[in-house]
């Protein structure tokens, strides 16, 4: 009989705990608005261009070729150069649907983030010997720039709430998700206008033809990347169903790498070398991350 009574007491206790947890468990709608800051980006790139001497629009007669350099189609290769863009400032806005269960919360969140960099005429740092030789000899300008970064993000977040008073709590959280991100990007290479500086050719006519030509790429680069974020904040209950607070987040993304884009102009002509395929370039960065501070409103449904 004593064991049976003890069992009934334990069952009653569990039902009370479950009832209390159920009373605290509820759906909520969350909204945020705030500002974001993005760090400096190091951009790199690549293309499938042929050697300049293989460009049939520049050198249709095949003058001054060196060995078998034009016998095989080149692969899409990585340039050994980079451009360091300055950091940017922008806005962040989000909407989330969450569920509370005791001290824990889980939510589905969409947030929009942008950062304005407006960093143009950034010098290109070259690392490979071939390009470095051209920079030293015949490339008069090698620079680029970035206008902005825009991202549309879908994340799953979890939080742990720590009550500091009857109507206030601090919390910590983390999330994982995916982002559709785009970058306004430009790069420019211009050869010296003086034919005497052109070392690609020996032929005087080809030196004059190549002098002053430019290769320019400007495009809205995009990629879908994974990310994770760390979150923290403070909430104060304003009414029975509404809380208002301050939230901070740090979000970091996997490597961004754009799709292929044709050059706006390649050595001052169309993005081809007359050998049957279009010439394309790509650009990427591993530095996409941001810090944001926002006002956060939650409404219990």
Render pLDDT for 64-119 as a digit per residue (tens, 0 to 9): 998 888 988 876 555 545 677 788 999 999 999 999 999 999 999 999 999 998 88
Q: What is the gyration radius of the CA atoms in the chain, in angstroms?
A: 29
Spatial separation of the C-alpha atoms in residues 106 and 98, rounded to whole Å: 5
- Residue among 92, 87, 150 nearest 119 (CA): 87
- At residue 15, the pLDDT reads 36
Spatial separation of the C-alpha atoms in residues 207 and 197, rounded to whole Å: 8
Alpha helices in the chain (DSSP H): 2-24, 129-137, 204-210
- At residue 136, the pLDDT reads 59
Q: Which has the higher per-residue pLDDT, 157 or 124?
A: 157
Burial degree of 9 (CB within 10 A; 0-12, 13-18, 19+)? exposed
Mean pLDDT to the nearest integer, 47-55: 90
Q: Are the beta carbons of 88 and 115 closer than 8 angstroms?
A: yes
Render pLDDT for 209-262 as a digit per residue (tens, 0 to 9): 999 999 999 999 999 999 999 999 999 999 889 999 999 999 999 999 999 999
Which stretches of 166-253 are assigned E, i.e. beta strand?
Answer: 168-191, 214-237, 242-253
Q: Find where tokens 């991350």 sit.
A: 289
- Residue among 87, 90, 112 nearest 35 (CA): 90
Spatial separation of the C-alpha atoms in residues 140 and 260, rounded to whole Å: 26
Other beta carbons within 10 Å of 218: 15
Mean pLDDT for the chain overall:
87
pLDDT > 50? residue 19: no
pLDDT > 80? residue 6: no
- At residue 153, the pLDDT reads 98
- At residue 115, the pLDDT reads 94
């Amino acid at each position: 009989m004593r064991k049976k009574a003890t069992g009934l007491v334990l069952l009653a206790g569990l039902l009370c705990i479950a009832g209390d947890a159920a009373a605290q468990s509820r759906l909520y709608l969350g909204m945020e608005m705030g500002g974001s800051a993005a760090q400096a980006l190091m951009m790199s790139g690549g293309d499938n261009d042929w050697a300049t001497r293989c460009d049939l629009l520049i050198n249709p007669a095949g003058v001054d070729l060196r060995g078998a350099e034009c016998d095989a189609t080149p692969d899409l290769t990585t340039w050994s150069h980079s451009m360091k863009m300055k950091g940017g400032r922008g806005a962040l806005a989000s909407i989330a649907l969450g569920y509370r269960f005791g001290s824990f919360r889980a939510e589905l969140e969409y947030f929009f983030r942008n950062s304005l960099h407006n960093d143009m005429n950034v010098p290109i740092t070259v690392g490979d010997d071939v390009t470095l030789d051209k920079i030293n000899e015949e490339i008069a300008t090698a620079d680029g720039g970035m206008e902005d970064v825009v991202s549309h993000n879908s994340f799953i977040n979890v939080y742990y709430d720590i009550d500091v008073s009857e109507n206030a709590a601090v919390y910590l959280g983390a999330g994982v998700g995916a982002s559709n991100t785009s970058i306004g990007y430009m790069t420019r290479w211009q050869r010296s206008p003086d034919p005497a500086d052109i070392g690609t050719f020996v032929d005087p006519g080809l030196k004059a033809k190549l002098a002053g030509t430019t290769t320019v790429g400007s495009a809205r680069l995009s990629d879908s990347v994974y990310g994770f974020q760390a979150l923290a904040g403070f909430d104060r209950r304003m009414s029975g169903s509404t809380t208002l607070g301050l939230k901070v987040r740090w979000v970091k993304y996997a490597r961004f790498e754009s799709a292929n884009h044709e050059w706006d102009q390649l050595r001052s002509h169309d993005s081809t070398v007359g050998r049957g395929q279009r010439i394309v370039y790509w650009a990427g960065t591993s530095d996409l991350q941001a810090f944001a501070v926002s006002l956060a409103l939650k409404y219990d449904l």
